[in-house]
Structure 1
Amino acid sequence: MSFVETEEQKALRAAVASLASKYNYRDYVLPLSRKNEPLTELWDEAGKLGFLGVNLPEEYGGGGAGMYELALVQEELAAQGAGLLLMVVSPAICGTIITKYGTEAQKQNWLTKLADGSSKMVFAITEPDAGSNSHQITTTARRDGGDWILNGRKIFISGVDQAEAILVVSRTEDHKTGKLKPALFIVPVDAPGLVKNVQEMDVIEPDNQFTLFFDDVRLPADALVGSEDAAIAQLFAGLNPERIMGAAMAVGLGRYAIDRAVEYAKERTVWKTAIGAHQGISHPLAQVKIELELAKLMMQKAATLYDSGDEFGAAEAANMAKYAAAEASIKALDQSIQTHGGSGLTREVGLAAMLQAARIARIAPVSREMILNFVSQHSLGLPRSY
């Protein structure tokens, strides 16, 4: 991996940053977030400019690049406080899985729409009784002639009200017990038997979370993505990008927080001296800057490994990147609020609202505790504790 980005990558950063400056946090994102309304205008323009599908194959309208470039887009958007949560699920998870395992018809139908942002597909894996243990998934699919019948329940599914379809992780009735062999289905959001309930969250964010109930949802045979007897690798083809993109969003939020703190510390004067001159202000900001840059390096390593085809190496790095970026971004926002003093808690500045959103990264898409379990077992070789 090179620490020097290509001219194309530098140009992409500059172009995304320019777009994000038009849809900045205070003027655009925060007012919509307070009303719990999606960032539709930003999404649409990012799609028209080709930013949303940079990782998808060129023959289906994508940019033909990799996860590194998609993470770069997310980071630069988030650095203006305008990160797009559905980039994590639509082009990164669903787009990647369909690219690797979908039929030609599925690719023609979905990748073209995911690439330009004209359609969104969300991802449903989490269940109330399974939590982080995907092997305990109870959503099942059974054959009925040439169709499939889907039954089950999912929780904390983001952006269903913005999507055309849901990529649902289930298991066939033949594999109700034992190790998970995921069966992935594309389910239209208006499918009969699918009930969608908004979950009431106490977080200021533009995207809704849903509980989903599948009650004898009938699907045609071509709704199945990949094999009905799939290896777990089919599922993790989407989960590694999810962690990389989550890290990219957290890194961008951390950059935003530090920029606002530095801006304020240069302008705010007490006793004829800018407060940024005092080590009590400057040293904590320098520390979080270092920690954020270290997290960014691990995120870039994870994306590079993933794009090179090293799935296991990418899994380790992606988990570490997500952990480090979450911790660094939360710390950066907390220190930015501290730098602002009382004004850091005002509605106008909006940093306290952003800290709420950043806090999610410690929990989703995988909790910090499960990442520590992964590193303990797979990186250190310690006995499995669960």
Structure 2
Amino acid sequence: MATTYPESADPDVNSTDKRKSSLWAAKLYLDYPIWNGNFTIGTQDSYTHTRLDYHMLNNLIGEYIPSSLTDTKQTSAALFASWSRMFGKFSLSAGARYEYVDYDFKTDGKRDKDVSRRDHMLTPDISLGYTFNNDAQISLSYKMSTVKPPYSRLTGSLNYVGQHEIEGGNPSLRDERMHDIRLFGMWKDFILQGDLTRSLDTYAYIKELYPANSLQLLMHPVNIDVTALSLYLVWSKPVGCWTPNVTAGLYRQWLTLDNTSHNKPIFSYYFDNTFSLPHGWSITANMNGQTEGDMHTNRFGATWMSIDASVVKTFLNRSLTVRLSATDIFNTANNDWTMNTCGVFVDKKQSYDRRGIALSLIYRFQPRKSAYKGVPASEAELKRL
């Protein structure tokens, strides 16, 4: 990576980084009937090794952003079990997961005792549902889960962004413990879903002053505790050839950091429209938007209306599909946000011209379905990498 300043006498800032990751994972489980229900028991295990070799090639910048070699190893072994059964119109599901994690973190070949740790985690979940009829049902569930941060957030190296900007990870980030209470209800053409979550040691980004000879701002993640409520109401019903799908949503969090509240709610909507026409034609017109509001330490700007559309035509008994689509037709999407943390206020105005036209042709040669019926043994670890 090279950062240059053509209009000044400041020297170029060059750096290199090389990341190598490997993952071994296995999953074994058994399903069998017991007590008129279905019982599942199994184990899920993984070994992850990721290594980042970062070199700062500018000696002046290297005084406060040094080169570093970070090496992370994690061994995880988990046991899980669940049981589910129908009691007439009632449904019950209960389970638990125990996980042992050995996390080893080294910087420049030296083990960091403050960051390396061994954890034992037990996470239960339970769900109870009731079906009134084919058009109405309701369920209430509780789940406790552990969410591990991505490995890119756990690095100890710092990255040069500009004359006064540094970005980095935080190897001391702890795993998040999330408690989630979910209410789900369906009645005819309406669906309601509400989630109340209490996240302990989730992470959010902050900007703060970094000790150096010149003014430097460091953006990096830190652990926070936050409570959040999300509500979504969905309505969909075919009307002739038109199938509308309307979603209204609310996200509201409770977070106070350094005596600053980040509690402004976000209201959002999605209005999707599909028109199924004769002779294999179909048209979609989808729009969405949201108000200004807080999510963790960011206050995101409003996007009142963003519109995508497409026209689809099938040929040869639906073997050939031709799709012409357009994205963000009126160029209204943005990525505006502000951040007010540790006495540092950042106001970012960013617009992308996402307008585009795509033409796709798909032909199906009677594909044979895969005989493999499993799932990745450690999909969460893959996402972290």
TM-score, normalization: structure 2?
A: 0.21
Higher RCO (C-alpha 8 Å, min separation 6) = 1
Richer in strand (by share): 2
- Structure index of larger Rg: 2
TM-score, normalization: structure 1?
A: 0.21
Richer in helix (by share): 1
